Structure 1
Amino acid sequence: MKRVTRETEEAARKVTRRTLMLGGAMASMVAILGARMRYLQVDEADTFKLMAEENRINIRLIAPDRGLIQDRNGKVIAANEQNYRVVFTREGSDNVALVFQRLAGLIPMTAEDVTRNIEAVQSLGAYVPVIVAERLSWDDFSKVALNAPALPGVNTEMGLSRFYPLDRDFAHVVGYVGPVSERDLEGIDTPDPLLKIPKFQIGKTGVEKWLEDTLRGSAGSRRIEVNSAGRVMRELDREEGVPGTDIRLTIDVEVQNFAQARLGEESAAVVVMDVTNGDLICIASSPAFDPNLFVRGISHTDYNALMEHDHRPLANKTVSGAYPPGSTFKMVTAMAALEAGVATPGDQVSCPGYIDLGGRRFHCWSRSGHGRVTLDRSLRESCDVYYYEMAQRVGIDRIAEMGRKLGLGQRFDIPMSAIVDGILPNKAWKQERYKEDWVIGDTINASIGQGFVLTTPLQLAVMTARLATGRAVVPRLVHAVDDREVPVAEAPPLGLTAEHLAGVLDGMFQVVNDERGTAFSSRIVEPAMIMAGKTGTSQVRNITVAERDSGVISNDDLPWNRRDHALFVGYAPYDAPRYAISVVDEGTPAMSFMDYRLREAPTGLRKVLHLNWPLVVLIAAVCSVGILMLYSIAGGDFDVWAKRQAQVFGVGMALMFVVAMVPIWFWKNLSGVAYLVAFVLLIFVEIMGETNMGAQRWIDLGFMQFQPSEMMKFSLVMVLATYYDWLDSKQTSHPLYVLIAVLLIVL
């Protein structure tokens, strides 16, 4: 038997230790791997299964149908239309530029469109689908679908997009939608996932913006299976979203269309309001724009044209246009004075055409003045001096308080963009704004709606509605949401004295229905819709001395953007108010024909330039023919008859020029005295008159003789004109007042 040496035994023991160490290490590794495999495949099996599913399955959002916007009668003014579009996903294409080059050859796509789309695609993830073309015709849509094999990454889809069938007429009310921007996402802590969809559109202005959450709806989703490269393999399932809610407005399509058509391209605004519940029947601002341009992607050229237009078509003038209300504010001043107890409807104020106050002269619009004026006449003929007097009595703070009570200087909760508060100033406001004290001149200017006072057409409509009803009517634009009517806001009584309110409303009635009223030429003759109202002129700036010296004497001589604005407020029917209206027309002062002539005619010697010269020439021609006939009959002797007639004619013409220079209010005030003097002289001539040419009708003054009957002729005309000017238009046909006129004539 072979003997094992010690060296051999020692070597065997070393081998055994190595084997054990290696085996132990291997066993440990196997144990660790086994534990890890158990952890991955057993303990975390559900987690990793979910992760694998997420790599294989993608969830993509489906935009819901946007809610419709309708008018009060259910006519659609914001709809959804079928949209054939092209979508591009970058992961499906190795050469993006080449694909877009081919695509541009199939559908309308400019070089600018191609560049913009490539930039959009490259700025997003490879698997994010981007809409690169929308609203394709069926033919173009079919071309892309047929050429799909040559357009890797391109897919065609059918969906819905916003459409405004009435385009311009409702642009400022409804607004428009556009792609979500970073600015839209600012201030939103947890934005709706829909807002992350590329080119997803939301409301940008108007009702579309302010009722966005209601109109948008909730997103749907679809589960799709993708391969390891991210390509879509199939759609596993789909869950439709919740469509947006339909909204019905208080606007009437027919009224809105009519108003927009009448405004045309004027820079103007109209608001019509139902005074019984505050419903806004019409909110028209012109010029307008086509909101579909913004939905489809407006070009820089079109956008710049809108921004640079001097009539500001993007501005909703009904709520964002702040204008001095002019004479339409006079009802506020009148009500403030009446309610404060510093005036009554019958108080008379003398208007010589101006007042001097604080070292400054404040003119009435009629430089010749109005004579004695009461409340109704001050509104009917828009006498400024009357309100200068009322303003001094009542003060600015109570005027501002009345303005707020009637709806001015405040913002109403309606879903419209860029609403402004306007300005209803008082002493505290000026101190805070300008660090200056309020002065009496500020009150005078504010009393006729000038100076610091600014209002919107919507506020003026509310003011008119509150005057017509005596209640705090609140405007309402949304009639119903998903067929659930929005409650009408309460309209509590304003607490105004009925007699005072009736006096103001009577003055507004005369403005429109009395032939001396500033709006008489625009009255409604339909008995069922007799209107009351008030005209006004919003003064933009005064004509400077330099401009007058250069020949600028009227508003029409100024550039459009420097001209005064025309305003009108009114309500109808007068006896049972239902609708209130406010109108602002920029660059067109509000005047009747006679009002216009009086405003534009200068005072002083400049009156001579504004005489009716054709009539003067005609009178001179007729008289000249008569003088020539007398000269001819006298056998060519001028001294026999023609000379005296020529002298009388010359004196008469001189007197005519003198009379034309005298303010009309002077002749009104003189008419009664002239009539009484003529009446006394007629009695005197019967007793002590001189007989000439067989008639005892002459009074001999030594240097001349005259007939009182001739004086009575023009005195009678003057007194009758003054009488009917003083008389209320509703009393002109009353038997008693007709009898008075007859007695004046008979006597």
Structure 2
Amino acid sequence: MKGKMKKKGAPPKAKKNRVTQAQRDEAFSRRTLLVGGVQASFGALLIGRLAYLSVSQNERYQTMAEDNRVQLIIVPPRRGWIVDRNNKPIAINRSDFRVDMIADQVPEGRLDTTLTRAAALLELGDEQVQRISAELEGKSGYQPVQLAENVPFKNFAAVSVRLPELEGVIPQRGFSRFYPAGPAVGHLVGYVGIANREEYEAEDKNPLLVTPGFKIGKEGLEEVLEQDLRGEPGGQRVELTARGKLVRELEPKPDRSGGTVQLSLDADLHEYAARRLGLESGSVVIVDCLTGEILCMASMPAYDPNSFSDGIGQTEWSLLSENERRPLVNKTINSLYPPGSTLKPMATLALQKEGIDPTERISCPGGYQLGNRFFRCLKRHGSVDMYSAVAQSCNTYFYAMSHRVGYDVIAEMARKLTLGMRYDDLPVVSQSYGTIPDSEWKLRKYDEEWRAADSLNASIGQGYVILNPLQLATHAARIASGRAVLPKLIGLHPDPAPMMDLNPEHLDVTRRAMWQVVNGVGTAGSARIPLDGIEMAGKTGTAQVRGLGRGDGRNVPWKYRDHGHFVGFAPFDRPRYAINVTIEHSGTSGAATPVARDVMTFLFDRQKAMEALAPLEEAWGGTLAERTQAFQEEVLRIAEARAAERAAQQGTTA
């Protein structure tokens, strides 16, 4: 019975197994559905992403693919010309030879060998080869690296005939900056050079700035007018393989040359003035009395911008920087000098405005007593009026008158004639505009009251007064024409400047006094123009550098001698040109007057002026270009000697 009872219990167990199988089947179906759903979702996502990339982002990825396949090689634009008022070139582009190298065109493993061969043909130094090697390693894609520029034809030809064994080397014609007048325009125009890191980053890493052969303005007009002269770069499109190898060249994009900039300058006059300065250190500035156009802005000694554009070593730069005659400084706008007696004509305008009668006479016993101090004059002039005080440069007259009216009124007239003014519209990198002091200025700067002694010193252009040569020329132009001229350098300006609110009778007195300086019994007889019917009026000035005791200082070092100035205008009866000549450390103003005479003569009779220059240049030992070349060769020789000495010391230490 018990066995039967156990047998009858079997069916419930089978039923339980059937239920479990059904549950398994149901669970499997759910899992299958879940996995299928996930797969379907993932598939849908892939399809959606594919649609997004192929439709919405089609243009973007097509551009990226094109960029990978096609690369643009920047072609630097030709730099714009700088010309003078007569369209004579001052800065142009000259065709030359250059050699570049593209690392990706050199067979693998032969880069160093090819570079060594090319360097030998181009006569490159070890330092240059190391620089080029580092640049080649850093370049990717079809990007060239400059091996050499301004290559002599014999070296260029040597590379060209060996191209089969110089894979990746590309000799080609290019353009370099050229300045026909050389050192005569060095300070004014500046030079061009390869952009440095700061300049590159300042333009948001513009790739044009690191393109082989491209240079930017570094000084002078080249720097200030950079955007006008640069132009728009072009490009050569090339098709590359995935490894960056050239497949073919596509249609190029032409570059657009920079614009031509015309100056008010007379290039011939400017070059003559630079040559006439000869061995002196100084400047010559000529301004149109009617319009303010700058016709001449010479500053010497100067560097040759042609050699600077090719690059200059650190040692050479240091030697030029340390030279006492400062060949790197534009003396017309960046040098400041006590103007000396050249400000006496300006002072006469202020004195007349304050009611001083030009015919009033003052006795000059050789100086002026102020308290317990005696301010010396050049000599005992006796009885002088305003005319003779200017003509004979009598300090005593201006001591007495400035003490009477106070220097503040004279300072006001000086500023009216632009002395101490910054010319904001002038296209220069920087300018030093000096000081016209007064009581308020001294109180603000030194927290001291203005004293009578300050008035006496300032009245003869000494003391706190310092100015640049361009200001002196501009102030002379305002006196000559009575017009509110401001110096202009860019473009031509035919319209005269407006008249100033100066009394014409006062101006006439001042001009006649300046006429006597040159043509009467004054201090500048050597400034007379040797042409019939053309007279120059002017004023000399000797600016003390330091107390030299007795004598003219010719027995002391050059840098301690007084500066010499001359300001003037011509023709006297119809003023058109104003001039300032400054000769540094000449001892007296006598060095400035003959320079002014010859440069002014050039304006009216060029042949006669050139005839006067020829024997002078012969005595000086050659033309300006020849002397500058000799000077730079000497600087280079010293630089090489110093480099050799350092190398020898390092070798001994090692």
TM-fit CA distance, 1:88: 2.8
* Deviation of the 1:558 alpha carbon: 1.1
Q: 2:294 aligns with which of 272, 280, 285?
A: 280
- Distance in 1 between residues matched to 2:414 and 2:200, nearest whole Å: 39
Q: Does 305-314 or 108-117 show the bigger shift?
A: 108-117
Contact 1:267 1:287 in 2 (8 A): yes
Q: Pick the aligned partner of 1:248 from 262, 266, 277.
A: 262
Aligned to 1:74: 87
Partners of 1:333 and 1:390 within 8 A in 2: no
State yes or no: 1:57 paired with 2:57. no
Q: Post-superposition shift, 1:226?
A: 1.2
Matches within 5 A, 1:120-139: 120-122=135-137, 125=140, 128-139=143-154
In structure 2, C-alpha distance between the alignment counterparts of 1:22 and 1:323, rounded to whole Å: 93
- 3-state secondary structure, aligned to 1:584: strand
User: Any idea what the Cα deviations from partners look like across 1:572-592, whole Å, max 9, x if unmatched?
Assistant: 111111111100011113356
Counting aligned pairs with the same residue, the percent is 41
1:364, distance to aligned residue in structure 2 (A): 0.3
Residue 351 (structure 1) aligned to one of 364, 370, 380: 364
Matches within 5 A, 1:67-466: 67-93=80-106, 94=109, 96-122=111-137, 125=140, 128-185=143-200, 194-197=208-211, 200-341=214-355, 343-366=356-379, 369-412=380-423, 413-466=425-478
The one-letter amino acid paired with 1:425 is P
Q: Say if 1:579 and 1:35 are closer, same or farther in 2 by CA, change over 3 A.
A: closer
Q: State the Cα distance separating 1:352 from its structure 2 match.
A: 0.2
Per-residue deviation at 1:491?
A: 2.2
Structure 2 matches for 1:289-688, cutoff 5 A? 289-341=303-355, 343-366=356-379, 369-412=380-423, 413-479=425-491, 486-487=492-493, 491-514=497-520, 516-543=521-548, 553-591=551-589
CA distance in 1, matches of 2:511, 2:51: 92
TM-score, normalising length: structure 2: 0.81
- The aligned amino acid for 1:237 is E
> Residues of 1 paired with 2:373 and 2:122: CA distance?
71
Cα gap change, 1:15 to 1:99, in 2 (>3 Å)? farther
TM superposition shift of 1:461: 0.7
Q: SS in structure 2 opposite 1:115? A: helix
Root-mean-square deviation (Å): 2.9
Report which structure shows greater RCO (CA 8 Å, sep ≥6): 2
TM superposition shift of 1:28? 6.5
User: Per the alignment, in what secondary structure is the counterpart of residue 556 of structure 1?
Assistant: coil
The alpha carbon displacement at 1:66 in A equals 1.1
Question: Are the aligned partners of 1:520 and 1:592 in contact in 2 as well (CA < 8 Å)?
Answer: no
- Deviation digits for residues 195-251 of structure 1, max 9, x if unmatched? 353563111111111111111112223322111112232221222132111011111
Please tell me whether the aligned partners of residues 430 and 436 of structure 1 are also in contact (alpha carbons under 8 angstroms): yes
Alpha-carbon distance between aligned partners in 1 of 2:56 and 2:578, rounded to the nearest angstrom: 76
SS state of the match for residue 319, structure 1?
coil
**Counterpart position of 2:626:** none
In structure 2, C-alpha distance between the alignment counterparts of 1:31 and 1:417, rounded to whole Å: 65
Residues 353 and 28 of structure 1, relative CA distance in 2, 3 Å threshold: closer
Kindly provide the amino acid, as one letter, of the partner of residue 440 in structure 1. A
Q: Say which SS state the counterpart of residue 346 (structure 1) adopts.
A: coil
1:245-276 superposed Cα distances (whole Å, 9 cap, x missing partner): 10111111221221111112311100112212
* Gap runs ≥5 in structure 1: 480-485, 596-747
CA distance in 1, matches of 2:64, 2:589: 78
**Alignment-mate amino acid for residue 76 of structure 1:** P
Judging changes above 3 Å, is the alpha-carbon distance between structure 1 residues 439 and 300 closer, same or farther for their aligned structure 2 residues?
A: same
Q: Which residue in the other structure is 1:726 paired with?
A: none
SS at match of 2:374: strand
Matched letter for residue 135 of structure 1: N
CA distance in 1: counterparts of 2:360 and 2:236, whole angstroms: 78
SS across alignment from 1:106: helix
Structure 1 counterpart of 2:316, one-letter code: D
| Counterparts in 2 of 1:28 and 1:165: CA distance versus 1, 3 Å | same
Q: 8 Å contact 1:350–1:371 — kept in the other structure?
A: yes
SS of the aligned residue for 1:320 comes to: coil
Tell me, what secondary structure is at the counterpart of 1:527? coil
Query: What TM-score, normalized by structure 1, do the two folds share?
Result: 0.71
Q: 2: distance between equivalents of 1:477 and 1:28?
A: 75
Distance in 2 (alpha carbons) for counterparts of 1:588 and 1:329: 19
Q: Secondary structure at 1:450's aligned position in 2?
A: coil
- C-alpha distance in 2, partners of 1:316/1:591? 21
